[in-house]
A and B are shown apart, each in its own frame.
Chain A
């Protein structure tokens, strides 16, 4: 599903490598936690997989498609297969919740349809947004302003957007970094259950080892741009809580 071989990424030609000869093989439907201190290269890894950063050497392929060298429509097609959510506020606050959610469909829409949706969404499009929001228990917020959402709701709308995108791989970059422990557990539980239901591969970067071992099949540690360890979940912590988010 996702194959990374000897990947080297630098910020510029003179700086040291942010990712240094990383190799990784991920199966379809796997749920992987990526642990590591700030600056270890977790975000760089995700941005490289999505084609936002140039690859100095090595290779990254998603579902058999080589990321390096992709441009224009082919790069957009690849990105539409890779969902991304992050700790950062990556929703557009001035758009409505339904507009942010349906932004997940931009990769498969024409520009004319995208512009028409901003002005006059059809009932079926609104229904699709409502369905995605109901999966994250936020359907009541369909017509709300994004700026009125709380931190946790913000993150769940980002997840709903990723669901509308129907990705093969979902990259969650520290999705619970700014949330309290209870909400963090709810969000991770939700992400894992959605990955199970939809069959997408989930890569999630975290700072908290306890959460990583509790919710994910496999835990990879990155330190100074290199993979320090790659191990399956410890049997003792297999009691992942199935929390009904917002219920």
Chain B
């Protein structure tokens, strides 16, 4: 019995040592990664874990910066997959508006329910933004997952109980502190490879939004977009909501009718239009092929052009608002 207990003790010591060593290594890595990088939690499957990370990111970035904030929400499009930070349209917004601090909170693969959770977490930080930019990506919308129930924001237990031992262990032994972390930060490495070539290949129709499903679930989509606007408006004075552009030729190459994408984009814009503090934008399908890296992602030149396009709408709208 004594040998068994001794062996268990040794195992426990090994586990604790591994925990300390692994957590220290990963923490150092995260700290280094977030110093000059965008917020990204790709592959963190459990959206409840975005909360602590998003809060840490926003609070960490804005701690010593008194400038008013501009927050960007979206998916890989807004995140700038897979270009360096300075080649993403959020960077161009920052350059054009140095009086503000632009924080890109896009998450690769972000869907609408993920966006709602993230907005709740940002709401929980108490940080206010002068305005927010919200991207709606038709390829990530996943209408089948949307619900009509508008769940109230709940406080993130992980965050508030970090001082508590139980929650600490819950947070650290589950995602993303295990070997999943290298996968989570996979995209950070992606930054190192701006020369990466996208491929122009036809994609199966299952990659594209299903128009029938969108029509069937339009009441759910409308409700979710209104809920997103309502949530974001709790910490933003105004909102710019845009539909992420798609390359028309890419859809045609895949034998998917591009007009379906336009129909869905029109639907999104019409749902958003009822909010007086929101400007709803749709860049349409007509962007030039040279601006795209692949079907749904812009290249560096595309990000520059998109940033200018967005700024022109912002300027115009601000003039209109001030005129009112």
Q: Do A and B come from one complex?
A: no
